[in-house]
């Protein structure tokens, strides 16, 4: 059961378009306490909560928390997209600001990717971290992670994540192509 209260769209300052003028960044807040929440069904033992929020142009954003990890998916079929089962291997949380990469379409702008910062816990083999997760958006069956950027090792992490969104996301084939690490990496231990 979804609770009707949905986070209103908060569009923050857009970032200038790229050199070709084809993409921009728009920012929205992701405040889980202001989203609709549903408790997980008993058969979903690893998941403890699921939140339904609204993002850019009211696109549905599903945030699930389970086994001390967050899963974020998008669109009308968010809970069935590949992104709904993708996360980082370490215990993690997410930031409250989402970056949406948008492109012009007839009559306005359309989001084709998101960039969301995940905060990872320390493990025996890796320190606390921050990873920018780039997720492809699109029609049903085409929402998934496409790239990861270690935000602590790369001083230009945001630029690398935008580059991944702009050059990889549109043509990425979910379930076939493998998401990769961009820039300097210290891939998390599995």
Does residue 189 sit within a domain?
Answer: no
Domain count, the chain: 1
Quote the Cα angle for 173-76-4, to 5°: 150
Q: pTM for the complete prediction?
A: 0.84
Does residue 190 sit within a domain?
Answer: no
For position 37, what pLDDT does the model report?
84
Does residue 168 sit within a domain?
Answer: yes
Does residue 127 sit within a domain?
Answer: yes
Does residue 14 sit within a domain?
Answer: no
Does residue 15 sit within a domain?
Answer: no
For position 98, what pLDDT does the model report?
98
Mind listing the pLDDT tens digit for each residue in 135-184? 999 999 999 999 999 999 999 999 999 999 999 999 999 999 999 999 98
Is the pLDDT at 124 greater than 90? The verdict is: no
Q: How confident is the model at residue 39 (pLDDT cuts 50, 70, 90)?
A: low
List the domain range (segments joined by +) for residue 105: 24-182
Does residue 7 sit within a domain?
Answer: no
- CA distance from start to end of the chain: 33
The set of residues, in sequence order, having a beta carbon less than 8 Å from that of 20 and lying 6+ positions away, is none
């Amino acid at each position: 059961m979804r609770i009707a209260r949905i986070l209103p769209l908060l569009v923050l300052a857009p970032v200038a378009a790229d050199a070709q003028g084809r993409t921009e960044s728009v920012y929205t807040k992701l405040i889980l306490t202001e989203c609709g929440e549903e408790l997980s069904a008993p058969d979903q033992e690893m998941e403890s909560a699921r939140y339904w929020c609204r993002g850019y142009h009211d696109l549905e954003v599903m945030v699930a928390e389970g086994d001390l990890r967050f899963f974020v998916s998008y669109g009308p079929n968010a809970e069935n997209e590949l992104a709904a089962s993708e996360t980082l291997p370490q215990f993690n949380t997410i930031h409250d600001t989402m970056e949406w990469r948008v492109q012009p379409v007839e009559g306005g702008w359309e989001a084709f990717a998101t960039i969301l910062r995940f905060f990872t816990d320390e493990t025996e083999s890796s320190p606390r971290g921050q990873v920018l997760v780039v997720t492809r958006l699109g029609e049903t069956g085409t929402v998934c992670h496409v790239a990861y950027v270690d935000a602590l090792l790369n001083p230009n992490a945001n630029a690398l994540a935008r580059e991944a969104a702009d050059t990889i996301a549109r043509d990425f084939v979910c379930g076939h192509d493998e998401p990769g690490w961009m820039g300097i990496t210290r891939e998390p231990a599995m």
